[in-house]
């Protein structure tokens, strides 16, 4: 059995968290490492800090996957005389590649925000700010019954027929085809000049528009007819399950103070703890979440008519103005804690994806770092006013 490579792992992660869905300012994908190197151990962490890199190397990781980018802004040097250059040199010398899935993991189904919503027990979920589905087409063709399976298999192998967690999805119906080959034709069925009437199967499959040429080439290469009848129907784009944040419902209503306590119990503990903004006795049941810094979605949370919005890095003025305008209560569990629940889920999904892609390959071992990398090192409670 062979080990998967860095390229195999990167390809699987790109399929799970397509880089095309990352924000235009983001920097995602493979940061360093030889794509041909084998991968036996993969570590997952929120931040690519020096301490995290040392943890990965001490564990013997071949690949470190982080949520936050190391090189978010362009650089002209990765010399080891600063923190980022030093980290890269350590990883490269230790034979550990680095991969980042950031905003593309935020919007993904089963990504950062679904993991956070699951941790808090939210059901009946939908995106807070939906992300339109990728442009797609419906390809329709007509195939002799004996060739249907081969044609579907070829189209599927080229990228058609993917629907959520399902593959090789196709719709078929039996019908009758008729044609008359003309001089110069070399028909696979029938003779020149004679009208043919025969059984055919109509095959329909959905394909991402970017894969249209590949699927059409595979179809024509596999179809037994000399001239292949094909309809390409461009489908309207709609909002799907992807998007920033999530909106869901708690199993039962509770007060804001108790809900904040539930959030603290559901997420990893950090020195900064969990803060809440609003009346502690306010009832909470409909909740929005956004892992990481999410005060850019305060208006979305208000429009969603939720009772509380869970996100991190809340700034004084936007939060104050939001609450003064009648917006939902706010709960801030800290940046690292709000994104950490994605790590074990991403690790599990990568292992499964590699197993499907290469059934004969050895299974990779994963490790999720629990190292708290929030910059907050601690906090001291303010003295009550009567003690001052």
**What is the structure's pLDDT at 356?**
87
141 assigned to some structural domain: yes
Domain termination residue (choose one: 287, 316, 333): 333
Do 83 and 116 belong to one domain? Answer: no
pLDDT tens profile 128-154: 999 887 889 999 999 999 999 999 999
The rounded distance, in Å, linking the Cα atoms of 25 and 103 is 10
265 assigned to some structural domain: yes
Average per-residue pLDDT in the chain? 94
Do 302 and 265 belong to one domain? Answer: yes
Do 150 and 115 belong to one domain? Answer: no
What pTM was estimated for this model as a whole?
Answer: 0.81
Question: Which residue segment(s) compose the domain that 233 sits in?
Answer: 134-237
pLDDT tens profile 39-80: 999 999 999 999 999 999 999 999 999 999 999 988 888 899
Domain termination residue (choose one: 237, 272, 305): 237
**What is the structure's pLDDT at 241?**
85
């Amino acid at each position: 059995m062979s080990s998967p490579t860095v390229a195999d792992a990167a390809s699987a992660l790109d399929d799970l968290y397509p880089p095309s869905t990352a924000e235009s300012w983001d920097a995602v994908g493979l940061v360093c490492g030889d794509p041909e190197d084998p991968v036996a151990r993969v570590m997952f962490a929120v931040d690519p800090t020096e301490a995290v890199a040392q943890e990965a190397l001490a564990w013997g990781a071949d690949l470190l996957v982080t949520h936050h980018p190391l090189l978010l802004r362009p650089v002209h040097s990765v010399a080891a005389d600063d923190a980022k250059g030093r980290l890269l040199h350590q990883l490269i010398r230790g034979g550990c590649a680095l991969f980042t899935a950031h905003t593309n993991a935020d919007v993904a189904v089963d990504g950062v925000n679904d993991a956070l919503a699951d941790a808090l027990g939210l059901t009946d979920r939908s995106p807070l700010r939906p992300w339109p589905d990728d442009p797609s087409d419906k390809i329709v063709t007509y195939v002799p019954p004996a060739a249907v399976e081969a044609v579907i298999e070829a189209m599927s192998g080229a990228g058609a027929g993917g629907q959520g967690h399902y593959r090789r999805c196709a719709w078929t119906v039996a019908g009758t085809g008729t044609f008359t080959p003309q001089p110069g034709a070399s028909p696979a069925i029938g003779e020149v000049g004679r009208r043919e009437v025969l059984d055919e199967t109509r095959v329909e499959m959905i394909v991402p528009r970017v894969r249209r040429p590949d699927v059409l080439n595979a179809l024509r290469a596999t179809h037994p007819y000399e001239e292949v009848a094909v309809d390409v129907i461009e489908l309207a784009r709609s909002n799907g399950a992807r998007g920033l944040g999530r909106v869901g419902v708690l199993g039962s209503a509770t007060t804001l103070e108790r809900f904040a306590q539930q959030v603290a119990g559901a997420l990893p503990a950090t020195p900064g703890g969990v803060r809440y903004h609003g009346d502690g006795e306010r009832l909470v049941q409909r909740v929005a979440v956004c892992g990481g810094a999410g005060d850019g979605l305060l208006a979305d949370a208000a429009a969603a008519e939720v009772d509380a919005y869970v996100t991190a890095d809340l700034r004084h003025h936007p939060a104050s103005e939001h609450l003064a305008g009648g917006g939902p209560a706010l709960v801030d569990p800290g940046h690292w804690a709000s994104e950490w629940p994605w790590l074990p889920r991403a690790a599990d999904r990568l292992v499964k994806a590699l197993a499907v892609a290469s059934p004969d390959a050895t299974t990779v071992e994963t490790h999720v770092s629990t190292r708290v990398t929030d910059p907050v090192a601690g906090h001291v409670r303010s003295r009550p006013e009567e003690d001052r």
